[in-house]
Amino acid sequence: MHLDARDLDNNTIIEGDLCIVGAGAAGISMALDWNKSGKKVILLEGGGFEYDSEIQDLYSGNSTGQKYYPLRSCRLHLFGGTTGHWGGMCAPFDPIDFKIRSWVPDSGWPITLDDLVPFYTKAQNLFELDAYNYEFQYWQEKHPELTPFPLDKNIIWSKMWQFSPPTRFGKTYKETIVKSPNIHLYTYANLTNIIANEEVHDIKQLIVKNHEGRTHKVRAKNYVLACGAIQNARMLLASRGQTKKGIGNDRDLVGRYFMEHLEVKSAQLWLKKSFSTDLYTFDYSTRKPRAELALNEVIQEEAGILNGSASLTPLVIAKQQTPLIDLWSNKDPRKSYDRLVANFRKSREKKDTRKDENGNRAFELYTRMEQAPNPNSRIVLSAEKDALGVPRPQLHWELTELDKYSIRKMYHILGEQMGKANVGRIKLEEFLWDENDNSMPDQLGGGWHHMGTTRMSADRNKGVVDANCKVHGISNLFIAGSGCFSTAGAPNPTLTLVALSLRLSDYLKTS
């Protein structure tokens, strides 16, 4: 059922078994998992079913450090969340992403890939993907035309990706949620404060507000924050009624370890002779699975580098593409999105790779790499408040030497292997030439992936949530989303954050 919180009498008390705050990828996935469960699920969504610039403005905030997208436009504040803009690229994390790596400070999750596999399988369905199978052999059997470069398999592997249509959660799942007998969706219900008991061991109620001046109280057995990594941290930090540092922040960890993916044009690949590159290049019309070039675990360890991969785009197309960080500069997310789509279309329409003499020989290599966990890369509260009285977030995005070193080293290894196998040569972009230069170019953008602000650790001195995404020290407060990632992994985060949210859902049902 659906209720508009603006129509409720002021000071309404809403009660239920489970309260999920935020109806984006994480929140809707969890709510659907409780559909027809007989439990009363309250799903609070700050926005409505359509874009509303007054609501979107609640996301505004400043950033310092590495150049970043405007905070106002890199998330969507309405039912369905940012799945209204996402691109649908999906791949699971690799086993190494969960391990403690001596060369990556603060690495290691308290769970493994195997713990997530059953939930990845469920998440695949929500994203309208094929089977949960990311083995290259599986896809080659289905599409025999997919052939990898003849590179040393002990060093380089084909990391497979699948592509969601992309599923827009706000459209695809609206009817199920609204017609559900037990999910009570409240739109225009913005969380503004989390109230704990005096000892800050339990959450007693949430305060929600809207621009019409109505304030309501929400009470449930368990509470899940699913507002996205920046907003979840912001809400915890801003809830200071019972503890000055903010809820869950007694170890000063909330907001720290903000991570993005390091996405940047990094090199060119010039093939020596003609190879089929179907496996590696993205086909927008079919959205078929494709592979990226990735380094094996042992090679990452030997080289002391982060996990990452390189994707191929014909150079004639890539040259027409403006860096994402420049395209996505408008504070109105719809305008930034339109520019992004127009640029992709134009670059592909203008150039027919078959007609260009280098069309099938020269490729741009684009990096997608995890960012090393860094406590100084963080979200804090600014002095300025939004229209509902909540301090705005401020991002300081900070990268480290290991980030730059890892990108450069990955291409050194790829180049060496391409040469050895007589596949071709790699020419590095200029920003990677000077080995003593640890700065990142302005053209580096993230993938609009916000991770790590409420990181997971079994040790409450090192993380905000435990292995079940429960906030340390608080009995009934949980976090859903990529804020819980201990490390960022190389792939885009949404498949993994939904798998993790479904695992949390399962835990709440059985605990």
Ligand X SMILES: Cc1cc2nc3c(=O)[nH]c(=O)nc-3n(C[C@H](O)[C@H](O)[C@H](O)COP(=O)(O)OP(=O)(O)OC[C@H]3O[C@@H](n4cnc5c(N)ncnc54)[C@H](O)[C@@H]3O)c2cc1C
Closest by CA position to 64, among listed 393, 328, 398, 374: 398
Q: Which stretch binds ligand X (CB under 6 A): 60-68, 80-88, 256-264, 454-462?
A: 80-88
Pairing of strands 89-90, 215-225: unpaired
Residue with tokens 């308290």, as numbered in its chain: 110
CB of 148 to ligand X, least distance (A): 23
Please state the three-class secondary structure of 428-475 as a single string.
ECHHHCCCCCCCCCCCCECCCCCECCCCECCCCCCCCECCCCEECCCC
Which candidate, 450, 413, 449, places its Cα nearest to that of 428? 413
Which residue, 52 or 250, is less far from ligand X as judged by CB? 52
Residue 82 found at the interface with ligand X (CB under 6 A): yes
Taking each helix axis as running N to C, give the angle between helix 25-33 and helix 494-510, from 0 to 180 degrees, rounded to the nearest 10: 40
Q: Is 87 in the site for ligand X (CB under 6 A)?
A: yes
What DSSP state is assigned to residue 88? -
User: Is 24 near ligand X (CB under 6 A)?
Assistant: yes
Please list every residue from 165 through 224 that binds ligand X, using CB under 6 A.
190-191
Q: Which long-range contacts (CB under 8 A, 24 or more apart) does 408-411 make?
A: 408/432, 408/435, 409/303, 409/304, 409/305, 410/295, 410/303, 410/305, 410/308, 410/310, 410/367, 410/369, 411/266, 411/267, 411/310, 411/365
CB-nearer residue toward ligand X: 25 or 233: 25
Q: Taking Cα atoms as reference points, which of 58, 24, 375, 475 lies closest to residue 229?
A: 24
Of 91 and 104, CB closest to ligand X: 91
Among residues 8, 74, 116, 474, the one that binds ligand X under rule CB under 6 A: 74
Rg (CA), the chain: 23
Contact status: 228 vs ligand X (CB under 6 A): yes
Q: Is 61 in the site for ligand X (CB under 6 A)?
A: no
Q: Is 444 in the site for ligand X (CB under 6 A)?
A: no
CB of 73 to ligand X, least distance (A): 8
Q: Is 432 in the site for ligand X (CB under 6 A)?
A: no
The angle formed by the CA atoms of residues 95, 96 and 102, to the nearest 5 degrees, is 150
Residue 314 token pair: 């014909």
- Exactly one of 61, 81, 289, 308 binds ligand X (CB under 6 A); that residue is 81
Point out which span in 25-33, 119-127, 255-263, 403-411 binds ligand X (CB under 6 A): 25-33
Asked if 493 is part of the footprint of ligand X (rule: CB under 6 A), the reply reads yes
Site membership for ligand X, residue 321 (CB under 6 A)? no
Segment interacting with ligand X (CB under 6 A) among 41-49, 196-204, 276-284, 361-369: 41-49
Cis bond upstream, residue 391 (ω within 30):
no
Tell which one of 96, 116, 218, 226 touches ligand X (CB under 6 A). 226
Least distance in Å: CB of 168 to ligand X? 11
Q: Is 86 one of the binding residues for ligand X (CB under 6 A)?
A: yes
Applying CB under 6 A, which residues contact ligand X?
21-27, 44-47, 74-75, 77-78, 81-83, 85-89, 190-191, 226-228, 231, 235, 448-449, 481-482, 492-494, 497
